[in-house]
Structure 1
């Protein structure tokens, strides 16, 4: 588990953070989905939060190159969003 609290893990779309002082971890891909066609579509914030949770599990301080897709029809769901990025651990 990360020493950085989940809600403090930085998500950035750029390829660098912390002045480039970091070690990259294996890339992450997460999905958030609607339960049924009648449920609301998953939000960008929900996809970002799931990415933070997965990053915390691998001990990351931030995630770089973050991309969150628009709503798509996915297997077993009427609507989902994918979030991807590379988790990083800060070095000093």
Structure 2
């Protein structure tokens, strides 16, 4: 995937240019980035392209950490509490 398609508004690029950017700011930028992707674009290849481009040499940058976390598989759902969780089918 091309970088222009992976980061259409340049939000991720700009996050790497902000000195002292926080984790919270990177998470907010990430949400804006995700919402800016065109409909139908798979985010996983886009994330991989962004990490491949911006990640080298920036392993501890908050945006690199956010992008890598987004690629991780979501945790397995756990049983919810309450009456419905105790009832057997």
Q: TM-score surpassing 0.5?
A: no
Higher RCO by CA contacts (8 Å cutoff, separation 6 or greater) = 1
Instruction: Choose between structure 1 and 2: higher strand proportion.
Output: 1
Instruction: Choose between structure 1 and 2: higher helix proportion.
Output: 2
Larger Rg: 2
TM-score, structure 1 as length reference: 0.28
TM-score, structure 2 as length reference: 0.29
